[in-house]
Amino acid sequence: MDLVWTLLTGFLYAEICVVLLLVLPVASPHKWNRFFKSTFLAIITRRFYLYFFLIMGVLVLFLFEAIREMRIYSNWEHWSDALLSTKMQHSMRFFRAQRNIYISGFLILLVLVIRRLVTLISVQAQSEASLKQAQSASAIIRSLMEDRNTEKVDEAKEDMLLGVTTKTKERIHELVAELNRETKDKEHRNTEKADEAKEDITLTEITKIKERIHELEEDRTLAVITKIKERIHELTAELNRDKKNKEDKYIEKAGEAKEERMLAVITKIKERIHMLAGELKREQVDQEALKSQAASLDKEYYHLTEEYSELQQQMNIIARRGDKANRTIN
């Protein structure tokens, strides 16, 4: 039995070393979890419960044996009349029985402590891994939200550009209408001024002629009056011809100038429309690209939210398992 108890003391020392390694900050929980999930330990953990209950049963048997020995050697009444050597042997055996109780009790306690530490380390490693995944997922979600905010800003800019283009088109139409009205007003004014000038000229000449007629009538020269009347008819005919020619020339010049102005305005408007059409096409292409990017980002956001919900469920399950394990140990 002494050999068995020496082996048990060695096992106790080994358990103490294992507990110190697990408690002291020698390695991180992630490394311990990798060590626990290694191939060698995976083979052992397949029948972990069998080994655990077997070891606990053996240790409990040794504990009962030590208790039995201590109860045997605890009765001093039967050994009162014995010799000193027998009393010394009795006290030594009683001391060994007490020592064996302590050894077996601490062995059982440390086995339970090691099992609990292993479970806590594995749970902590899993929680750290899930926390890292959740942090990475939250960072990705934040980046996606920022991208969506930038897309909203781009869409607002595009809406403003479209509003500006529509306003510029409306302004162009208004300017063209104003140019047409101004050209028409200028033509009417020019024609009215020309008519007024010609009428003023003819009125002055007629007044002069009338004065001359009165003078000639005073002189009572009929021949001169007839000549003057003929001259008046000639002058009126020439004035009418000149008036018609000037009106025709003025109308032709005004029409040519108007056509040239209208052609220049139309060419400018066409160039502006082509530029706006090119800008609109580029904006439409950019909008389609942004829409495709937004659709892909929405899909990625949906997948990431699903992964995030799954990770939260796993974390809740791990937390529940840890609570259950704490309750079972308590």
Calculate mean pLDDT across residues 193-216: 62
Q: Is residue 70 part of a domain?
A: yes
What total number of domains does the chain contain? 1
Average pLDDT, the chain: 75
Show the domain range for 91: 2-133+318-329
Say what the pLDDT of residue 221 is.
53
Q: What is the pLDDT of residues 133-192, one digit of tens each?
A: 888 888 888 888 887 777 776 777 777 777 777 877 787 778 778 777 877 877 777 777
Q: Is residue 25 part of a domain?
A: yes
Q: Which two tokens stand for residue 112?
A: 């339970």
Q: Is residue 49 part of a domain?
A: yes
Q: Is residue 105 part of a domain?
A: yes
- Label residue 326 by pLDDT band (50, 70, 90): low
Say what the pLDDT of residue 75 is.
66
Say what the pLDDT of residue 95 is.
81
- Label residue 196 by pLDDT band (50, 70, 90): low
- Rounded Cα distance between 305 and 300, Å, is 9
- Rounded Cα distance between 55 and 104, Å, is 11
Say what the pLDDT of residue 51 is.
74
Express as a percent the part of the chain with pLDDT over 90.
0
Say what the pLDDT of residue 122 is.
84
Calculate mean pLDDT across residues 12-35: 83
Q: Is residue 186 part of a domain?
A: no
Q: What is the pLDDT of residues 64-86, one digit of tens each?
A: 888 887 777 776 555 555 556 66
- Return all residues near 1 (Cβ < 8 A) that are at least 6 apart: none
Say what the pLDDT of residue 76 is.
57
Q: What is the pLDDT of residues 136-145, one digit of tens each?
A: 888 888 888 8
